[in-house]
Amino acid sequence: MQEQETIKEARATLNYARISSRKVRIVADLIRGKNVDEALAIVKFTPKASSEIIEKLLKSAIANAENNHDMKHENLYIAEIFANQGPTLKRIRPAAKGSAVRIRKRTSNITIVLRDDK
């Protein structure tokens, strides 16, 4: 019988972030597959609205890996990062001639998965 290796992974999830998933994916694509230290540096100096949110979530995932899964900070890399669309808040704004325009305030669910490269 073969023994399967268990792959250690740590994850952090942020649900209902008040930012469009389309905007989050721009920064997520920059750091996917990178070492966590390199990813933190990239996020720190990327002038996008989602950078601050992703930085905080990445630090949370690192803390989860170190404290809950006994993984070393130096060996961690971003295996997966994705932003899916969350529920949309619908609001109404008055428009010309007594009509109304619907405003869609989009939310997103962001997940980061870290693995140990050994």
Q: What does residue 94 show for φ and ψ, rounded to 5 degrees?
A: -65, 145
Q: How far is CA 13 from CA 21, 57, 64, in A?
A: 14, 7, 11
Kindly report, residue by residue over 43-55, the tens digit of the pLDDT. 999 999 999 999 9
Q: pLDDT 10s per residue in the chain (118 long)?
A: 566 667 788 999 999 999 999 999 999 999 999 999 999 999 999 999 999 999 999 999 999 999 998 889 898 999 999 999 999 999 999 999 999 999 999 999 999 999 988 6
**How much is the pLDDT for 44?**
95
Kindly report, residue by residue over 67-77, the tens digit of the pLDDT. 998 889 898 99
Q: Is residue 3 part of a domain?
A: no
Helices (H), 1-118: 21-31, 36-44, 49-68
Domain that includes residue 46, residue range? 9-116
SS3 39: helix
Between CA 6 and CA 116 the distance in angstroms is 11
What CATH number is attached to the domain comprising 43?
A: 3.90.470.10
**How much is the pLDDT for 117?**
80
Q: Is residue 108 part of a domain?
A: yes
The tally of domains found in the chain comes to 1
**How much is the pLDDT for 8?**
84
Q: Give Dmax over CA atoms of the chain in angstroms.
A: 75
Q: Is residue 63 part of a domain?
A: yes
**How much is the pLDDT for 7?**
76
pTM: 0.87
